[in-house]
Copies of this chain bind each other. A is one copy, B any other.
């Protein structure tokens, strides 16, 4: 099906999302952002995200697959899907969706790429509360397969199904997963921040340096979790008894570690933050430079390994 997808907000995530849709669907893309130089900006930032077999931006613009709009109204009118990647404040989102609702066709699907503001909060000023859901990608969206679908309690199941079907059928390897409750950070970032808190605590306590902790993660859990999830890993680790046997054998050690986990906070005594920043800056520098391209290629290769069929 050929959709008309309107993207509102074209920062890094928006540009990457535009590339994802252009590379893997035949939909028409409508772009809107309040920056004044939008066309020049799109022409310079989008090309590196496109694959070699995607038409050039000039060609996409001239054939009408890509349309740059100068008003929100003209961008919304033709849309069958409206996806926003705007500023991460409740006020911005609430104001935007109220406007969108008044301009959009009554069957248009409403998606927000937010990483933290639940759909139920964003829809506060809307008169209909059934269409909007969170469609949270992981950075960079055109490569990373995860799409977290987080409906508000009032979002209809058919909207969730529609978004899941859309991303599953792109052929891009994206893996939409439904998160059933609107918890802070959804699931991916909660897991990441749980580990980050302990990582910062260990650096703070001088147990290990920031780059040594990165080496530990890359030499163990990263590759393991690229191949097996955490539950499947421990299912295997428990032998014939599976994860039940694993938890049984290690319950003492696990509880001992849980009781000892760091409880640092972002506010209050902030010395750990300075130390983490200092060690990280010193280890990696502040400019990624050419490393970013190499890392991106490695990420693609790891994802290829995940999808490989091994007999």
Contact = CB atoms under 8 A, between A and B. Distances in A.
Interface in A188-229: 188-199, 202, 205-208, 210-229
A265 B175 CA distance: 31
Given A194-B197, A202-B190, A229 B247 contact: no
Contacts of A199: 191, 230-231
Contact of A237 (B139, B216, B254, B265): B139
Contact of A198 (B191, B281, B288): B191
Top 8 nearest A-B pairs by Cβ distance? A214-B229, A222-B225, A146-B219, A222-B226, A185-B257, A194-B198, A146-B220, A145-B219
A153 interface: no
Interface stretch (A53-61, A67-75, A272-280): A272-280
A234 B242 CA distance: 34
Interface residues of A, number: 105
A3 interface: no
A198 B192 CA distance: 10
A303 to B, nearest CB: 6
B194 A194 contact: yes
B229 A177 contact: no
A288 B144 contact: no
Given A229-B217, A294-B310, A193 B254 contact: yes
Contact of A228 (B216, B218, B257, B286): B218
Contacts of A221: 188, 191-192, 195, 225
B206 A276 contact: no
